[in-house]
C-alpha cells in the first residue's frame, strides 16, 4: 500500500502505462541476444576446456539439458509432474543398443545417425503409456508414472532374450579416442537441446501451449472452454518423450552399456524434476538454468561421492532449501524480485520529480482499482 | 430461443427441478430469482451441459440440447459465466480472454474480437499482461465477461455475477450486463439480489422448490406482493395466489 500513500503527483498516460504494466520486461532483442550469447558460450566451452574429464562432465550436462528441456514441454506446461520419463529414456537406450547390435553397425557416425530413431521410439511408446497414465491427475498421476516406469524395468529384466536381462547389452563405442570422443556427443546433445528449446518456445507461444497452461491452472475450466484436454496432454507428452528418448540414445552410445536398472531408473526423473523446479518449472529458460547449474554439480557429487549414494542426501537438502527460499524456482523468483526492485526505484524517482500530466494520479489509479472507471468508459 | 418444457433434473436420484417450464425469448434480459434451493444453479448447469435433464425438453433455437456436451453447447452459441471465480489465476488477463476463443481457429478473427472486448471492457486492455489472480473480484468478473463474449455468443448465461462483490463493484457489473443486452445479446441471469436483478430485466422469473412460480416483466414481478411472502418466509400458495397475483400486478402470471 506504499503506492496509495504516495504524494498524488500527476502522471502522463505513458507513465501510467509503465507503472501498471511490467516495469521489467526485457525486449525481444535483449532476450534473443542472451540466448545467442549462451549458445556461443556453450559451443566454445569444450574447445576452451579440453581436459576430457571436464568435457565428459559437459557431455552429461548436455544430456541432462536436452532431457529437461523435453521434460518441461510436458510437465512444465501442463503441470502434470512425470516421474516416469525414464520409460522414454530407457526405451531410447534399448532402441539404439538393439539396432546397433542387430544391424552390426560399427562406425561412430552411423551409430549417431540412428539416434533420432531413439527419439521416435520414445515418442511412440509415449502414446500407449500416455493414454494409460493421463486418465488420472495430480498425486495419483505421479505415482502411476513411477509404477509404469518400474513395470518397464521389470520387463527389461525379465526378457533376457531381447534385453539381455540383468547382464544388459553392450554397445560398441565409436572408435574415437580422447577428447575427440566427447565432442560429437557434446555438440549433438547441445544442438538437439537447442531444437528442443525452439520447440518449447513455439509451444509456449502457440494456442496449443496456452491450452496446456490452462490445463495446468484448472483442467475442468479448460475443458469448459472447449479445449480437448486429453489430446493436448498426449501431444505434449509425445513431444517431450521424443527429446528424452534422444537423450537416452546418445547416453547408450556414449557409455557403451545398457542395464535395466540404469535405463529405467527413478533417479533420472528425480534429477529432471529437480532441475526444472530449481530453474523454474514451466518457463522457457528455467530448465536451462537448472540443468546448467545442477547438472555439473550432480556429476561432481557422483564422481566424488559416487561410491555411496550419500550425495543424494546433499542433493535433497539443496532441493528443499531452494524450494523454501525460492518456491517458484530461480528464474521466476529472481525476475519477480528484480521487477519489484525496479518498480520501487521508479516510484521513488517519480515521487522526487512530481510530474504534471493528464490529471491522473498514482493514488487515484490505485483507489479506483476495483474497476470504477472501466465500465463508464466502455460505453463510448 | 431457449425453451424448457417439463424439465426434471437433479443429482443422484432426487430431483431438484420438478417440472420447469420456461422460455428465454431472443433479445431478452431474463432474470431468474428465487430463494436458496429453488433450483437456480441446477438450471444453469443444464444450460451449460454440465448436467442433463432426467425428463423433459430442453431446446435452443429449435435444437435439443438436453444431451449435449459443454463443448457442443458452446459451439451452438451459449456461453456461461459461472458462479464464483473462474479465471485461470496464473495466466495473464490477455491469455484468459483469448482462451475464450479457443474454439475459433481464425487468428485474425480472434484479434478482432479481442479488440472489441477491450473496447467494451477497458480493464482488459489496461491489465492485459497482469496475472488474472492479481485483479480484484470485480475486475475478474469483467475479464470473465470479456472472455464470454469472445465467442460472440447468441446467449450469455450468468450465474450470480454479483456474488461476493461490494455494492459499487456490483453496480458496475450490472451496468455491463445491461450493456451486453443493449448490444443485442440475449442474457439469462440468475441472481440472489432480487431487486438489482429484476429492475434491469426485461423478463423476470421466480422459481421456488424446483418450479417456476411467477413470471412477467421484471418490474411486474418485482411489484408482485407474493414476492415479499416468498422472501420473508412461506411459499406462494397454489390456486389462491394465481388470481390475486394477476389482479394486483397486471400481466404477471402464475404458473401452475
> Do residues B3 and B157 make contact, with C-beta atoms less than 8 angstroms apart?
no
Instruction: Test A373 with B166 for CB contact under 8 angstroms.
Output: no
- Residues A374, B121: C-beta atoms closer than 8 Å: yes
Instruction: Report how far apart, in Å, the C-alpha atoms of B108 and of each of A174, A354, B77 are.
Output: 52, 42, 20
Question: How high is the mean pLDDT of chain A?
Answer: 80
Residue A254 contacts residue A55 (beta carbons within 8 Å): no
Measure CB to CB from residue B136 to each of A222, A371, A377 and give the nearest one.
A371
Residue A82 lies in a domain: yes
- What phi and psi, each to the nearest 5 degrees, are found at residue B172? -60, -40
Residue A332, in any domain of the structure: no
Q: Which domain holds residue A88?
A: 49-265
Model pLDDT, residue B243: 39
The predicted structure's pLDDT at residue A109: 80
Minimal Cα distance from B183: which residue of A? A379
Q: Residue A65's pLDDT is what?
A: 93
Instruction: Name which of B172, B190, B131 is nearest A371 in CA terms.
Output: B172
Number of Cβ within 10 Å of residue A159's Cβ equals 12
Is residue A334 one of the residues assigned to a domain? Answer: no
- The Cα–Cα gap between A131 and B153 comes to 34
Residue given cell 552399456 in the structure block = A257
Question: Looking at residue A128, what is its pLDDT?
Answer: 93
Instruction: Look at residue A32 in the predicted model and tell me its pLDDT.
Output: 85
- Which pLDDT value is given to residue A234? 94
Cα angle A193, A77, B73; round to 5: 140
- Predicted local distance difference test score (pLDDT) of residue A380: 29
Domain assignment of residue A189, yes or no: yes
Query: What is the length of chain B?
Result: 256
Residues of chain A scoring pLDDT < 50: 1-8, 21-23, 356-380
User: Are A280 and A329 spatial neighbours (Cβ–Cβ below 8 Å)?
Assistant: yes
Return the pLDDT at A375: 33
pLDDT at residue B40, rounded to an integer: 87
* Domain-embedded: residue A15: no
In chain B, which stretches have pLDDT less than 70? 232-256
Work out whether strand A169-170 and strand A257-258 pair parallel, antiparallel, or are unpaired.
antiparallel
What is the Cα–Cα distance from A242 to A92, expressed in whole angstroms? Answer: 9
C-alpha cell at A156: 527389461
ipTM above 0.95, yes or no: no
Q: What is the pLDDT of residue B255?
A: 47
In a domain, A282, yes or no: no
In angstroms, the separation between the Cα of residue B141 and the nearest Cα of chain A is 10
Could you please report the per-residue DSSP string of A271-327? HHHHHHHHH-TTSSSHHHHHHHHHHHHHHHHHHHHTTSSTHHHHHHHHHHHHHHHST
**Closest CB from B100, B122, B169 relative to A370:** B169
Across the A/B interface, how many CB contacts are shorter than 8 Å? Answer: 91
pTM of the predicted protein model: 0.77
Residue A128 domain flag: yes
Is the Cβ pair B122, A377 closer than 8 Å?
yes
Domain count, chain A: 1
Angstrom distance (rounded) from CA B191 to CA B160 = 5
User: How confident is the model at residue A303, as a pLDDT?
Assistant: 79
Best to test chain B binding among A226, A229, A283 (most B CBs inside 10 Å):
A226
Task: List chain B residues with CB under 8 Å of A217.
Answer: 88-91
Question: Is A95 inside any structural domain?
Answer: yes
pLDDT tens digits, B64-105: 888 888 888 888 888 888 877 788 888 888 888 888 888 888
Q: Which residues of A4-16 are buried (b: 16+ CB within 10 A; e: fewer)?
A: eebeebebeeebb
- What pLDDT, on the 0 to 100 scale, is given for residue A11? 53
Amino acid at each position: 500500500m506504499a503506492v496509495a500513500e504516495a504524494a498524488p503527483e500527476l502522471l502522463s498516460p505513458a507513465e501510467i502505462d509503465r507503472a501498471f504494466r511490467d516495469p521489467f520486461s526485457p525486449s525481444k532483442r535483449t532476450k534473443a541476444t542472451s540466448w545467442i550469447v549462451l549458445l556461443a558460450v556453450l559451443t566454445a566451452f569444450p574447445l576452451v576446456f579440453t581436459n576430457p574429464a571436464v568435457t565428459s562432465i559437459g557431455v552429461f550436462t548436455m544430456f541432462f539439458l536436452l532431457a529437461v528441456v523435453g521434460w518441461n514441454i510436458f510437465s512444465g506446461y501442463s503441470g502434470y509432474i512425470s516421474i516416469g520419463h525414464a520409460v522414454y529414456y530407457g526405451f531410447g537406450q534399448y532402441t539404439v543398443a538393439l539396432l546397433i547390435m542387430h544391424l552390426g553397425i560399427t562406425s561412430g557416425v552411423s551409430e549417431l545417425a540412428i539416434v533420432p530413431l531413439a527419439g521416435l521410439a520414445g515418442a511412440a511408446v509415449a502414446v500407449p503409456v500416455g493414454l494409460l497414465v493421463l486418465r488420472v491427475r495430480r498425486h495419483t498421476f505421479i505415482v502411476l508414472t513411477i509404477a509404469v516406469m518400474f513395470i518397464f524395468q521389470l520387463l527389461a529384466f525379465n526378457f533376457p532374450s531381447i534385453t539381455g536381462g540383468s547382464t544388459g547389452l553392450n554397445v560398441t563405442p565409436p572408435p574415437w579416442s580422447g577428447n575427440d570422443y566427447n565432442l560429437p556427443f557434446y555438440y549433438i546433445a547441445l544442438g538437439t537441446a537447442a531444437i528442443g528449446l525452439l520447440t518449447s518456445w513455439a509451444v509456449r507461444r502457440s494456442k496449443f501451449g496456452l491450452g496446456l497452461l490452462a490445463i495446468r491452472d484448472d483442467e475442468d475450466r479448460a475443458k469448459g472452454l472447449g479445449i480437448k484436454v486429453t489430446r493436448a496432454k498426449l501431444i505434449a507428452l509425445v513431444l517431450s518423450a521424443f527429446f528424452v528418448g534422444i537423450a537416452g540414445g546418445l547416453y547408450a552410445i556414449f557409455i557403451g552399456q545398457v542395464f535395466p536398472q540404469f535405463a529405467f531408473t527413478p533417479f533420472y526423473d528425480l534429477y529432471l524434476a529437480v532441475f526444472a523446479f530449481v530453474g523454474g518449472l514451466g518457463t522457457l529458460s528455467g530448465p536451462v538454468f537448472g540443468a546448467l547449474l545442477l547438472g555439473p554439480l550432480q556429476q561432481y557429487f557422483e564422481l566424488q561421492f559416487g561410491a555411496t549414494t550419500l550425495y543424494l542426501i546433499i542433493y535433497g537438502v539443496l532441493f528443499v532449501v531452494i524450494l523454501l527460499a525460492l518456491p517458484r524456482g530461480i528464474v521466476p523468483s529472481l525476475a519477480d524480485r528484480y521487477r519489484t526492485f525496479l518498480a520501487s526505484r521508479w516510484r521513488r524517482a517519480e515521487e522526487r520529480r512530481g510530474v504534471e500530466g493528464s490529471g491522473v494520479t498514482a493514488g487515484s489509479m490505485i483507489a479506483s482499482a476495483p474497476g470504477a472507471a472501466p465500465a463508464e468508459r466502455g460505453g463510448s | 430461443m431457449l425453451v424448457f418444457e417439463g424439465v426434471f433434473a437433479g443429482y443422484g436420484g432426487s430431483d431438484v427441478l420438478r417440472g420447469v417450464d420456461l422460455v428465454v425469448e431472443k433479445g431478452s434480459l431474463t432474470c431468474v430469482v428465487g430463494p436458496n434451493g429453488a433450483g437456480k444453479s441446477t438450471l444453469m448447469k443444464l444450460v451449460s451441459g454440465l448436467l442433463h435433464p432426467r425428463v423433459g425438453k430442453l431446446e435452443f433455437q429449435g435444437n435439443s440440447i438436453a444431451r449435449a456436451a459443454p463443448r457442443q453447447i458452446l459451439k451452438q452459441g451459449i456461453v456461461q459465466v459461472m458462479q464464483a471465480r473462474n479465471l485461470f489465476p496464473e495466466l495473464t488477463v490477455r491469455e484468459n480472454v483469448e482462451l475464450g476463443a479457443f474454439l475459433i481457429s481464425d487468428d485474425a478473427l480472434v484479434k478482432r474480437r479481442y479488440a472489441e472486448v477491450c473496447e467494451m471492457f477497458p480493464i482488459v486492455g489496461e491489465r492485459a499482461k497482469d496475472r488474472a489472480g492479481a485483479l480484484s473480484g470485480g475486475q475478474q468478473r469483467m475479464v470473465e465477461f470479456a472472455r464470454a463474449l469472445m465467442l460472440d455468443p447468441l446467449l450469455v448465461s450468468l450465474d450470480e455475477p454479483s456474488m461476493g462483490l461490494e455494492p459499487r463493484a456490483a453496480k458496475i457489473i450490472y451496468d455491463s450486463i445491461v450493456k451486453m443486452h443493449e448490444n443485442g445479446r440475449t442474457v439469462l441471469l440468475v441472481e440472489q439480489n432480487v431487486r438489482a436483478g429484476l429492475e434491469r430485466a426485461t423478463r423476470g422469473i421466480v422459481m421456488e422448490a424446483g418450479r417456476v412460480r411467477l413470471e412477467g416483466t421484471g418490474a411486474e414481478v418485482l411489484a408482485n406482493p407474493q414476492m415479499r411472502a416468498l422472501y420473508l418466509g412461506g411459499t406462494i400458495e397454489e390456486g389462491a395466489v394465481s388470481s390475486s397475483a394477476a389482479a394486483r400486478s397486471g400481466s404477471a402470471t402464475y404458473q401452475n
